[in-house]
Amino acid sequence: MASYIDFSQPSLWVSAASIVFNPTFWNIAAQQEYHNKVITKLFGGNSRLGCYALAVTIFSLGIFRDYLYNEALADQPTHPTLLSPAIKYSAIPLFLTGNTLVLTSMWALGVTGTYLGDYFGILMDEPVTTFPFNVSSSPMYHGSAMSFLATAIWYGKPAGILLTALVHTAYSIACRWEDPFTGMIYQKRDEERKKGKKGL
């Protein structure tokens, strides 16, 4: 399978770089916002507008990353086994499932919930526990990785499977950082609420 990956293609490395860059960027940006209000200050103290701007940036970077991924696949060899009907068409339910996880999680969280609103102080009243969060702890990340894999299988590109593994790794590392920090934000909010009630 490895012999069907052309590591000499610059597009492969550019795609890999974009996959790593995106979660790195949004985590650094979110941390700067939480600790220093950098983005809110750029928008005249309007935290909600700052969050929307970050949302547009992250969404745009995601579209560009997907474009680079497809460009990379176009430059890569095709493996005949992956083009067999049984394997190729397995990509369809995989892609549909992945996109369902992504879209339903965005619907459940809303714009600010999806795009790091908690770092801006825009918190949800309660954690979302309904679908898709009752089948996956990180449905957007898992769904995105599934869509990457489905695309690789559909086009019969082993390089796409390798890049999908990188997507999964990048998201797994991001989760190890994001989940505890988000938990801390909400724990701090809950503690402040309790203090407020005691002061009444």
Q: Is residue 33 part of an annotated ligand binding site?
A: no
Are the C-beta atoms of residues 77 and 6 closer than 8 Å to each other? yes
Q: Is residue 117 part of an annotated ligand binding site?
A: no
Q: Is residue 129 part of an annotated ligand binding site?
A: no
Neighbours of 36 (CB within 10 A): 10
Q: Is residue 96 part of an annotated ligand binding site?
A: yes
Q: Is residue 125 part of an annotated ligand binding site?
A: no
d(CA 166, CA 149): 11
Burial 166-183 (b: 16+ CB within 10 A, else e): ebbebbeebeeebeeebe
In sequence order, what DSSP letters do the residues of 21-85 get, joined into one string?
Answer: HHHHHHHHHHHHHHHH-HHHHHTTT-HHHHHHHHHHHHHHHHHHHHHHHHHHHHTS---GGGGSH
Residues annotated as binding site?
96-98, 178-179
Residues annotated as binding site for S-adenosyl-L-methionine?
96-98, 178-179
